Amino acid sequence: MEKMVKQLVEAYGPAGEEQQVASHIKDVIEPLVDRVSVDELGNVIAIKEGPAGAKKIMLAAHMDEIGVIVTDIDDAGFLRFANIGGVSPFTLIGQRVRFADGTVGVFGYEKLDGMKDLKLNKMYVDIGATSREEAEAKVGIGDKGVYHREFIGQGQRVIAKSLDNRIGCAVLIEAARRLENSPHEVYFVFTAQEEVGLRGARTAAYSLDPDYGIAVDVTDTGDTPEARRMAVSLGKGAAIKVKDSTIISHPLIKDLLVNTAKTKGIPYQMEVLERGGTDAGPIHLTRSGVPTGAVSIPCRYIHTPSEMVDLRDVENCIQLLVATLEGPLP
């Protein structure tokens, strides 16, 4: 498990440029499913076929990650950039960025009156170039960079960039490995461009036209010092989504997940996420509507290079998904 997660989080895949991570996921999941393909927007769609007339259920975990995009290169070879997805300037100080070809840069910022004036447009990336020409030989306008950080496993807790949402991808892959006799047709979808507006899931759901949807993504916790109040903690089980900004989970799916967790004795907690969205949003509004819910992996420090999850929660999420997919649907 740790090795799989390490490979997933360290893969390059900012929103809109997921090819590297997509190709890795495709290779890993190919032997575990009946068919796998990549669609027009770059979503990886792996299918475990069901018997004739089976209900179609779509699982979605986004594989893209947040990052930065180069907007300008100056005469001295410094790169200006904008964000891709939710990137805080304060998080970038002291960080390293890696481009698709492996070029690494560091973030710096201009002289400021105070730290509250720190905005992305006061920052730049330094790749060590001494001139515009030298920089342009490595990086062009429009090139995208992601956090450059290695995976760390420390007991039950793992720390890495992009656990949002490569840990969800790991959950889907492992569920595909363990799921043997589902009475349903199961779509394991690794979606593109979630971080910039839940875009891949929207088109994937349209083309797959599922009967039910379950998104798998990370969620916030309220278990750190003086945190914003939230009844989700690391290590207390799979989180079953009640709502976020993009969906109110369909009661049928929410209850199915809760009842499965209770019956199988899988630790779970209820997630009411007041800010933030998931792929469950666009899935449930597809065509004439898709009853949809979500299973979430509790995660601290989301959108930093040091996101943290508990592997016991990950295991519980996998068990909950597998048990749900093996049973009857509402």
Partner 1 sequence: MTGRDLLKALSGAKGVSGYESDLIPLLTEAFMPLIDQAREDKLGNLIMLKEGNGPEPRKKIMLAAHMDEIGLVVTGYEPGGFLRFANIGGIDDRVLLAQRVVVHGRKDLPGVIGAKPPHIQEPGEQEKTVKMEDLFIDVGLEDEVLEELIAIGDMVTLAQQPVNLQNDRYAGKAMDDRAGVVVMYLCLEVLAKLSHSADVYAVATVQEEVGIRGATVSTYDIVPDIGIALDVGHGDIPGVPESDTLPLGKGPGIAIGPQVHPRIYDRLVEVAKEWNIPYSIEPCTTPRGTDAFAIQVTQAGIPTALISLPLRYMHTPVETLEWKDLEAAGRLLAMFICAIDSDYVEGLQCF
Please, what is the end-to-end C-alpha distance for the chain in angstroms? 31
- For partner 1, the closer of residues 3 and 229 by Cβ is 229
Classify 48 as helix, strand or coil.
Answer: strand
Stretch that binds partner 1, among 68-76, 78-86, 93-101, 265-273 (CB under 8 A): 265-273
Classify 253 as helix, strand or coil.
Answer: helix
Stretch that binds partner 1, among 91-99, 130-138, 225-233, 313-321 (CB under 8 A): 225-233
- For partner 1, the closer of residues 196 and 230 by Cβ is 230
Classify 170 as helix, strand or coil.
Answer: helix
| Shortest distance, position 251 Cβ to partner 1, whole Å | 6
Q: Does position 270 bind partner 1 by CB under 8 A? A: yes
- For partner 1, the closer of residues 4 and 230 by Cβ is 230
Instruction: Give the integer Cα–Cα distance in Å for 20 and 12.
Output: 6
| Omega before 316 within 30 of 0, i.e. cis | no
Q: Does position 291 bind partner 1 by CB under 8 A? A: yes
Q: Is 40 a catalytic residue?
A: no
Which amino acid does the sequence have at 121?
N
- CA dihedral (182, 186, 188, 194) positive or negative: negative
Q: Does position 56 bind partner 1 by CB under 8 A? A: no
Q: Does position 288 bind partner 1 by CB under 8 A? A: yes
The angle at the Cα of 265, spanning 211 to 256, to the nearest 5 degrees, equals: 20
DSSP-derived letter for residue 41 is T
DSSP string, 58-87: EEEEE--B-EEEEEEE-TTS-EEEEEESS-
Out of 3, 111, 116, 287, the residue judged to bind partner 1 by CB under 8 A:
287
- For partner 1, the closer of residues 95 and 246 by Cβ is 246
Stretch that binds partner 1, among 59-67, 106-114, 157-165, 243-251 (CB under 8 A): 243-251
Stretch that binds partner 1, among 33-41, 86-94, 223-231, 306-314 (CB under 8 A): 223-231
Compose the 132-151 pattern: x for residues touching partner 1 by CB under 8 A, - for all others: --------------------
- For partner 1, the closer of residues 67 and 291 by Cβ is 291
What angle, 0 to 180 degrees and rounded to 10, lies between the N-to-C axes of helices 2-10 and 19-29? Answer: 150
The 3-state DSSP composition of the chain as helix, strand, coil percent (nearest 5) reads: 30, 30, 40
Out of 249, 260, 278, 296, the residue judged to bind partner 1 by CB under 8 A:
249
Instruction: Give the integer Cα–Cα distance in Å for 291 and 284.
Output: 6
Residues 257 and 269: beta-carbon distance below 8 Å:
no
Q: Find tokens 């760390």 and name the residue.
A: 152
Active-site residue among 185, 194, 271, 315? Answer: 194
| Shortest distance, position 191 Cβ to partner 1, whole Å | 20
Q: Is 216 exposed, middle or buried (0-12, 13-18, 19+ CB in 10 A)?
A: buried
- For partner 1, the closer of residues 81 and 212 by Cβ is 212
| Shortest distance, position 241 Cβ to partner 1, whole Å | 9
Q: Does position 329 bind partner 1 by CB under 8 A? A: no
Positions marked catalytic: 194
Which residues contact partner 1 by CB under 8 A? Answer: 229-231, 242-243, 246, 248-251, 254, 269-272, 274, 284-291
